[in-house]
A = this chain, B = another copy of it.
Amino acid sequence: MSTLKDVAKKANVSVATASYVMNGSDLITKQTKEKVLLAAKEIGYRPNGNAKNLKKNKTNIIGLFLSGFTGPFFNELLEGIQVAVIKRGYEMVVCASDDKHRLLVERYVDGAIILNYHISNELLDSLASEKFPIVVLDRELENPHVKEVLLPNKHGMDYTVSHLVEQGHKRIGFIAGSRESFDGESRLEGFRESLSKHDLPFKETDLIRADFTEISGLLCMAKFLEENENYPTAFVSANDEMAMGAIKASQQTGLKVPDDIAFVGFDDIDLSRYVQPALTTVRVQKKQWGQTAAEALFAMLQKKEGIDEAEIPIEFIPRQSS
C-alpha cells in the first residue's frame, strides 16, 4: 500500500510538502500542488487514518454504542445523531458490544453516546474526561464529563394516566418491555407514580411483561386474557408496537377497543394513526433526541459550558383506542 512518502518521491517533493498538499494548505504553490495531486492519483494513494489520528490525537469520529441490533432499535435516533455529527464535519460509527468494549476503550473516537446496558457506570466514569466526553441515553450518572440526555418518560406517563382517569378508568394495567431497557423501566416507574398521584392502586398481576415487539404484545396479551377473565378496563403500554399487538389480541378474543378495553401506547410511530382503531399515544421526537445528544456531546467537546438542559419534546396524542 502506498504512502505519502511514495507520493512525495514520485512528485519530487518532500513528504512535508506532500502532506501540506493533501491537507489543502495554501502555502503551497499551485503547480507543486497539481504535481503532488497527480502523483497521488496515479499511485492510488489513500491516507492512513490511524497514522493521522495518532499524530493529531483526534479522530473526528464519534461513536454510538448500542447493546445490540435487535430489539428496539431506533432508526430515527441514529438519523438524528448522524445529521448533527455530519454537520460538524465528524463521522459517526455505531457498534454493539457486550463484553470488552474495545472500540469504546481504545480511543477510536473523540466522544461517545451510550445506549448499552452492558456498559457499567464504573467503566464510563473511568473513561469520561475533558478530552473524552460522554453522553448517556440510558442511565443517570453524576460526572462532570458525562451528560444525560434522557426522554421525559414520566412526564409522558402523567399525560397518559390523567387522560385515562378522566375517561373514568379505575383499573389500569401496564404492558412492559424487557427489563434491560432504561426507558421501558422508567415508563413503568412513571406509570406507577402517576397512578398513585391519582390515588389509584396498581395490581401487580396487571403487569404484563413483553419485549417491545408487536408480536410479543400480541402473544402476552392473548395469554393474559385467557388466564384472567377479569381484566383492567385500560392498558398502558411501554411502546406502540406492543400496544398494537395487544389490541390485535383483544380484538381476536372478541373484545371491542376502546369500548371493552382501552389502550394507550408510547412513541407515536408512523403506523399508529393508521391502525384500526388509531392508537392513542405519546409522541416522542426520537430524531430530536439523537440530535440533542450529539449537540450535547459537541458542546462538551468544545468546552462550551452553557448548554441548557434541553428537554426532548413530547406530546400526548389522543386517538380512538382510548
Contacts and interface: CB of A to CB of B under 8 A. Distances in A.
A59 interface: yes
B49 A107 contact: yes
A48 interface: yes
B93 A271 contact: no
A25 interface: no
Interface stretch (A68-76, A136-144, A181-189, A253-261): A68-76
A203 interface: no
Nearest to A49: B106
A51 interface: yes
A96 B64 CA distance: 13
Given A46-B105, A48-B54, A54-B51, A95 B96 contact: no
Contacts of A68: 79, 82
Contact of A1 (B44, B51, B108, B131): B131
Interface string A81-115: 01000000001111111000011011110000000
Number of copies: 2
Contact of A48 (B75, B107, B129): B107
Interface in A1-55: 1, 44, 46-54
Interface stretch (A156-164, A194-202, A212-220, A299-307): A212-220
A107 B214 CA distance: 40
Given A49-B102, A50-B54, A106-B47, A70 B59 contact: no
A76 B75 CA distance: 14
Nearest to A96: B82
A78 interface: yes
B78 A213 contact: no
Contacts of A44: 126
Contacts of A127: 46
Contact of A50 (B47, B76, B91, B108): B108
Given A50-B107, A82-B69, A213 B93 contact: no
A215 to B, nearest CB: 5
Contacts of A91: 95, 97, 102-103
B82 A93 contact: no
Contacts of A96: 78, 82, 92
Contacts of A119: none
Interface centre among A1, A73, A94, A214 (most CB of B within 10 A): A94
Given A50-B53, A271-B215, A73 B75 contact: yes
A59 B59 CA distance: 15
Interface of A: 1, 44, 46-54, 59, 61, 68-70, 73, 75-76, 78-79, 82, 91-97, 102-103, 105-108, 126-127, 129, 131, 213-215, 218, 245, 248, 270-271, 274
14 contacts: A1-B131, A44-B126, A47-B106, A48-B107, A49-B108, A50-B51, A52-B106, A61-B103, A69-B78, A69-B79, A78-B96, A91-B95, A91-B97, A93-B103
